[in-house]
Amino acid sequence: MSAETRAGVPLSSPDITEAEIAAVTAVLRTPHLSLGPELAAFEADLAAFHGVDHAVAVSSGTAGLHLALLTLGIGPGDEVILPSFTFIAVANTVAQVGATPVFADIDPVTLNLAPAAVERAVSPRTRAIMVVHTFGIPAAMGALLALARRCSLFVIEDACEAIGASYGDPPRPVGSFGDLAVFGFYPNKQMTTGEGGAVLTRNPAHAERLRTLRNQGRAAGAGWLDHVELGYNYRLSELACALGRVQLSRIDEILALRRAAAERYHNLLQNIPGLEVPPLTVPNGTISWFVYVVRLPEEADRDGIQTELSRHGIATGRYFPPIHRQPFWSTHPASQTADLPVTERVARRTLALPFFNRITSEQQVEVAEALRKALGR
Ligand SMILES: Cc1ncc(COP(=O)(O)O)c(C=O)c1O
């Protein structure tokens, strides 16, 4: 590796302070490393933040999606409508419960499910819509919830990328709209538990089922070796919960830092000819900045630009190669019948730039200048 690439601006970086280190260390001084007081407190904090009754912490966002589908009884013969322009776990978990994913196209501005496309995808077998709040931009919940009500469909919100975003008037946090909502706390997210996630619900029966499923099928209050149904080990450790509690207590500060970083990029990049920057605001909601994704000019050579930026130590990502184009999914019937012109058009041009709480103005200037040069502008 050359000196040039060693300096580097990473794509993402967790923001861990002495408070997180102290909280995790304190757990290590107790005998409770799993299923203890930190779990109960983290779940209570998450539920209170979102104004819902129940939060069930799990080992990842993927585990949360899997349990959400199982809790609603979705399985073989059922269809679930979802975007292809998202992370692969969204479709994989639908397949893992034996249901059939049906890909619907997205809105070209928000990059979230387009309600009209979702409506076209509804069939007599549709059971649920998996509504992803992509890149922290709230999805069109008003239209999607109305459609779900009209067609008697469940709504699972995938808010893995969107903690702290809000929607509606008066505004409500994303994750408080669906039958169930899933969050993810991987280290590239706004807040992290290392690995981890959570499922939120207002329904006490759903909460109980989620707790049973995440803990090897043990019913509430049952003994350690009593298993009433097929379950999983999707528990989140006390160390992770302690870390999550401190991160959640800092969420306003974190979101403000990320918003300021997004505004700085906007000012640096908006005048580069042919480059499309993400909107800073959206109607009916507020953004929780997860990543900063630009769209390159149509004719730009994205691979070449990524290589050029990486030569300067600047990491970038192709968020997202559509799921229906992934090797595993491309031969699936759901992919072959998918009609996703906006997804195809957008996904060819997207480039995620380095983006994290503590990114400095100097680093952002460096990224902007390197991108401008790589584009020949
Ligand atoms: C939209 C979306 N859903 C689900 C996941 C899965 O979360 P995890 O990586 O915690 O399993 C992610 C994570 O990147 C995501 O972005």
Model confidence pLDDT, tens digit, residues 295-329: 999 999 999 999 999 999 999 999 999 999 999 99
**Residue 86 Cα: closest atom of ligand 1:** 1
Q: Is the CB of 193 under 6 A from ligand 1?
A: no
pLDDT digits (tens, 9 = 90+) for 77-111: 999 999 999 999 999 999 999 999 999 999 999 99
Q: Which CATH superfamily is domain 251-374 in?
A: Aspartate Aminotransferase, domain 1 (3.90.1150.10)
Residue type, 127: R
- The DSSP bridge pattern shows strands 166-167 and 172-173 to be antiparallel
**pLDDT, tens digit, for every residue of 7-32?**
599 999 999 999 999 999 999 999 99
Reply yes or no: is the peptide bond before residue 320 cis, omega within 30 of 0: yes
What is the band of 373 on the pLDDT scale with cuts at 50, 70, 90? very high
In angstroms, what is the span from residue 101 Cα to ligand 1's centroid? Answer: 17
Pocket test for ligand 1, best of 160, 236, 319 (most atoms within 8 A of CB): 160
- The answer to whether the predicted template modeling score (pTM) of the entire model surpasses 0.75 is yes
| Segments of the chain assigned to CATH 3.90.1150.10 | 251-374
Q: Among residues of the chain, what percentage have pLDDT more than 90? A: 97
CB of 160 sitting under 6 A from ligand 1: yes
Q: First and final CA of the chain: distance in angstroms?
A: 28
* Ligand 1 in reach of 319 Cβ (< 6 A): no
Distance CA 236, CA 225 (A): 19
Q: Is the CB of 278 under 6 A from ligand 1?
A: no
CA dihedral 150, 154, 157, 158 (to 10 degrees): -130
Q: Residue 53 gets which letter from DSSP?
A: S
State if residue 107 touches ligand 1 by the CB under 6 angstroms criterion. Answer: no
Q: Which residues belong to CATH 3.40.640.10 in the chain?
A: 18-249
Check: CB of residue 79 under 8 Å from CB of residue 123: yes
Ligand 1 atom nearest to 290, measured from its CA: 16
> Is pLDDT at 349 greater than 90 in this prediction?
yes
pLDDT digits (tens, 9 = 90+) for 237-262: 999 999 999 999 999 999 999 999 99
Alpha-carbon span 115 to 118, nearest angstrom: 5
62 CA to centre of ligand 1 in angstroms: 6
Whether 71 lines ligand 1, by a CB cut-off of 6 Å, is: no
Architecture of domain 18-249: 3-Layer(aba) Sandwich (3.40)
